[in-house]
Amino acid sequence: MTDRIAAGLARRHRAERRFRAYGVAALAVAFAFMGAMFVAIAVEGAGGFRQTVIGLEVTLDPAVIDASGGRDPVALARADYGGLVKRALRARFPEVSGRRAKRALYKLISVGAGARVRDRVRADPGLIGQSVLFWLPAASDVDMLIKGRVAGDGPEDSRRIDDRQRAWIDALIAEGRVETRFDSSFFTNADSREPELAGVLGAVVGSAYALAVCLALAFPLGVAAAIHLEEFASRSRWAEAVEITINNLAAVPSIVFGLLGLAIFLDAFDMPRSAPLVGGMVLALMTLPTIIIAARAALKAVPPSVRQAALALGASRAQAVFHHVLPLAMPGVLTGTIIGMAQALGESAPLLMIGMVAFIIDVPGGPTDPATALPVQIYLWADSHERGFTENTAAAIMVLLAFLIAMNLVAVVLRKKFEKRW
């Protein structure tokens, strides 16, 4: 009998060790895949935070910029700075002649280079009349070549950079006029047709407005619904039906909420299309079930003795809930809310349905202005055929992941800070 018991214990111990080994192996595989994903995104996105610039001596001709000499801000803004940049390129390569060759030369510099010159002149009009060294953004094809993202050799007809352009680039490199620098404009610009000019600021601001609207609607409604269902609602068939509906809504695909917002907010109420206001309302509908479920769980975790003690001391039922139970449950409520908001931040399908997929080049000034959101911006860039947008896509994903990680860290800190143990 003793030998049989010992053999059975040995089998169970072996089974337990195998189970633990399987668990460790599963975790190792999961972390390996996750690490590979993050490394791939980081390697691809690192280039999105760097930009190739070309140094050119630009002569700020007063006849072009400010012919009247009055330093009129409107005249300074409307001057042909792009023509000055082209003139600087021709001065650097005077041997280039012919319309086709000049067009190829101009393609070395981004079409937004003139805007960089304009901004500096408007900030310091005293530069007019001088020859100033400007570090101007290179065109996307040149940027990809310098970063090694595209091949610089091989058949000329299969390359975006021909032999003449490659010779001009080599000449600029030999003079130390080509550098790769941190691209701060990626965080200060909105979307653009040109990869080297595109940034995430417009999408980040649009997401911020949408999340603000979502939080303002979903948090009070979700907490109020959770309090009513958990503390005041009678246990009837109607209450059970509401609970089942809420649980089912939490599992509904997000695109369904987008269709609901399209049918109600846009078609029925004729609200502005592609606006963070509507996007926030749609995200609030999607986040509401998550907040209700998390808030109910937090309220249910508060010991019944807290309620009973408050009622025994003469507090009303509402006073017991709002003065004692809810403050103790608030860490769990906030944690669930932040996790729900993080989920809303990463959603793109419902926003696509309400038109936030539009090409917006301006940073929105309010929740009713046309805007896009960060996940939608990533979708738009990923769908582009330009090689430069591949780096921008990975860089924007890194920005989105940084926001998601930050929100989850805030949830963890709040839970640790305010958590009560009974």
Domain-located, residue 87 = yes
Clarify whether residues 231 and 346 are in a common domain.
yes
Clarify whether residues 138 and 18 are in a common domain.
no
- Here the tokens at position 96 are 């280039």
* Angle (nearest 5°) at CA 13 between 11 and 16: 110
> Please, is 307 exposed, middle or buried when counting C-beta atoms within 10 Å of its C-beta (0-12, 13-18, 19+)?
middle
**Under a CB-based contact definition with an 8 Å cutoff, are residues 282 and 257 in contact?**
yes
Give the per-residue pLDDT at 409: 86
Clarify whether residues 7 and 88 are in a common domain.
no
Clarify whether residues 161 and 79 are in a common domain.
yes
Clarify whether residues 22 and 129 are in a common domain.
no
Clarify whether residues 73 and 142 are in a common domain.
yes
Clarify whether residues 271 and 397 are in a common domain.
yes
DSSP string, 126-160: GGTTSEEEEEEEBPHHHHHHHTTSS-SSS-GGG-S
Cα diameter, the chain: 110
Domain-located, residue 192 = no
Can you tell me which residue has the tokens 């007019």?
Answer: 128
Clarify whether residues 41 and 124 are in a common domain.
no
Domain-located, residue 263 = yes
| Structural domain range at position 98 | 50-183
pTM of the entire predicted model: 0.87
Q: Would you call 100 helix, strand, or coil by DSSP? A: helix
Clarify whether residues 64 and 177 are in a common domain.
yes
Domain-located, residue 390 = yes
Sign of CA dihedral 222, 223, 226, 232: negative
Q: How many domains does the chain have?
A: 3
Clarify whether residues 230 and 308 are in a common domain.
yes
Distance CA 345, CA 368 (A): 18
Domain-located, residue 277 = yes
Give the per-residue pLDDT at 82: 93
Clarify whether residues 214 and 129 are in a common domain.
no
| pLDDT tens, N- to C-terminus, the chain (422 residues) | 577 777 778 888 888 889 999 999 999 999 999 999 989 888 888 888 999 999 999 999 998 898 888 888 888 888 999 999 999 999 999 999 899 999 999 999 999 999 999 999 999 988 998 999 999 999 999 999 898 887 767 676 777 888 899 999 999 999 999 999 999 999 999 999 899 999 999 999 999 999 999 999 999 999 999 999 888 888 778 878 888 888 888 888 888 999 989 899 988 888 888 899 999 999 999 999 999 999 999 999 888 888 889 888 888 888 999 988 998 898 889 888 988 898 898 888 888 888 888 788 889 999 999 999 999 999 999 888 888 898 999 999 999 999 888 888 888 887 777 766 65
**DSSP character for 302?**
S
Clarify whether residues 177 and 155 are in a common domain.
yes
